[in-house]
Amino acid sequence: MSTGTAGGPHTDHGPRDAGTAGATGPRDLGALRRLAVATLEANWEHDHTVPSRTLYPHQWSWDSAFIAIGWSHVRPERAWRELAGLFRAQWLDGRVPHIVFNPALRVGSYFPGPEFWASGLAEGAPAVATSGLIQPPVHAPAAWLAYRRFPSGAGRAALCRLYPRLVAQQRYLATRRDVGGGGLACVVHPWESGLDNSPAWDAPLAAVPADAAVMRAYRRHDTAHADAAHRPTDLDYARYVAIVASYRERRYRDDDLAARHPFLVECPLVNAAMGAAEHALARIAPLAGADPGPHRERAARITEALVRRLYDPTTGTFHPRDLRTDRLVPARTVLGLTPLVLPDLPARQVSALVAEACSARFGLAVRMDRPLPSHDRTAPDFEPLRYWRGPSWMNVSWLVRRGLLGHGRPDLAAGLRDSMIELVARSGCHEYFHPDTGAGLGSPAFGWTAALLLDVLADDPPG
């Protein structure tokens, strides 16, 4: 990997010279750890951690799960406050909203803000303002890892309080969101996947009627804080807004999605996370006095459905299924690799995904020369600077690394770990990174980058 420039290491806490991949010395690792802790501390806000003080000043769902894992390494009580705070905003139907708005912040501190979502008008929404969407359900594994890292009595009590809420989150996804009837949950908005403008959504989004000019009526907050050339376009945002408007009009009810909703897609990541959550719940259940059996059964059913509905034997990877056309989306994005997190993924799919990850498309190796990209490097629509259309993200690398560890590939997992550490050593705790140079992009002090760096530095065994 060549030298990153944008963002540079933080001068206050950052390492001076962390060396090349795999050669990061112990003193440098100490400095990296301090940088990560300082980033989390700076983003802590009473009972949760903001992803970024500038771009994302509220609480985000899957960010909080990753961030809780980071807190478990340094201040375990904050891991539980983070998760408990998020689940206090759970809706009566079990959905965990993707944004919980901080009422103390001024109007306009994020777009679309609470006035746009109008969650208060929806049945079963909490008193605090939230969005009406979900994000990948990575919370049960996060809670399990946080407990395993520091298994105190207080941690166990917090985990047991969380357990029924985690179960309700799964029930919501498995029932209300199984619009395709095949045992998988669908996403109703690209934001629900966490990979907002991934090329995976281009085809299903193209069918949503929208005009970029509608964005003149709104003030985008993201482009005031980040380079517009790195962010989704105005036409993307016009479609995002149109899809929310359609869901909001029905007060975020899921009963007639198939008949009315313009975007319905089964996402490999959301469903892999849902399966991994059942495995984690099977570990948590005995602590909470519950039977792990049903969790194991549901986990097996989800893995079977994922392989049946989203795996394409001709490409050897997983693809989203567009329920409007009942076809797989052809783009080969990093979403396709994420089913590796399932411990019961059959050997055939594991070896196909390892081959896909090690191909020129994603460049995974025991010694990586460039970080894992979010999209196929060889695709004509690969964009090294634009958000989820090429740049490297720490959370996706972390998920793939866990999958590799779980499937007996510690060599490749170590290569990925080195490349993740090197990114932060070169560029700081950025939101995402240039997939060729490792330059830091987006927000410079990003929560999950710091949190997951702490986790990979600790290098706990899988489980």
Q: Which residues are catalytic?
A: 196, 431
CB of 62: closest distance to ligand 9WN in angstroms?
Answer: 6
CB of 51: closest distance to ligand 9WN in angstroms?
Answer: 3
How many residues are recorded in the chain?
Answer: 463
> Which one of 26-34, 54-62, 180-188, 344-352 is the stretch in contact with ligand 9WN (CB under 6 A)?
54-62
Q: Which residue is nearest to ligand 9WN (CB)?
A: 51
**Buried b / exposed e across 432-447, counting CB within 10 Å, b at 16+?**
bbbbbbbbbbbbbbbb
Closest CA to 255 of 122, 115, 130: 122
Residue 322 pairs in a beta bridge with 265, 327
Q: CB-based contacts of 368: which residues, under 8 Å, 6+ apart?
A: 1, 21, 415, 416, 418, 419
For residues 63 and 254, which CB has a smaller minimum distance to ligand 9WN in the complex?
63
> Which one of 59-67, 141-149, 262-270, 357-365 is the stretch in contact with ligand 9WN (CB under 6 A)?
59-67
* Residue 199 interacting with ligand 9WN (CB under 6 A): no
CB of 432: closest distance to ligand 9WN in angstroms?
Answer: 9
By the 8 A CB rule, do 206 and 325 touch?
no
CB of 135: closest distance to ligand 9WN in angstroms?
Answer: 6
| Rounded Cα–Cα distance for residues 149 and 152 (Å) | 9
Where does residue 115 rank: exposed (0-12), middle (13-18), buried (19+ CB within 10 A)?
Answer: exposed
For residues 194 and 275, which CB has a smaller minimum distance to ligand 9WN in the complex?
194
* Residue 60 interacting with ligand 9WN (CB under 6 A): yes
Q: Which residue has the tokens 């029924």?
A: 164
* Residue 196 interacting with ligand 9WN (CB under 6 A): yes
* Residue 376 interacting with ligand 9WN (CB under 6 A): no
* Residue 192 interacting with ligand 9WN (CB under 6 A): no
| Rounded Cα–Cα distance for residues 252 and 48 (Å) | 25
For residues 138 and 285, which CB has a smaller minimum distance to ligand 9WN in the complex?
138
Q: Which residue has the tokens 């090294």?
A: 384
Site for ligand 9WN in 384-403 (CB under 6 A): none
Among 194, 262, 320, 391, binds ligand 9WN (CB under 6 A): 194
Residue by residue, DSSP assigns 257-277 as: HHHH-S--EE-HHHHHHHHHH
Site for ligand 9WN in 259-318 (CB under 6 A): none
Q: Which residues bind ligand 9WN (CB under 6 A)?
A: 51, 56, 60, 62-63, 98, 191, 194, 196, 222
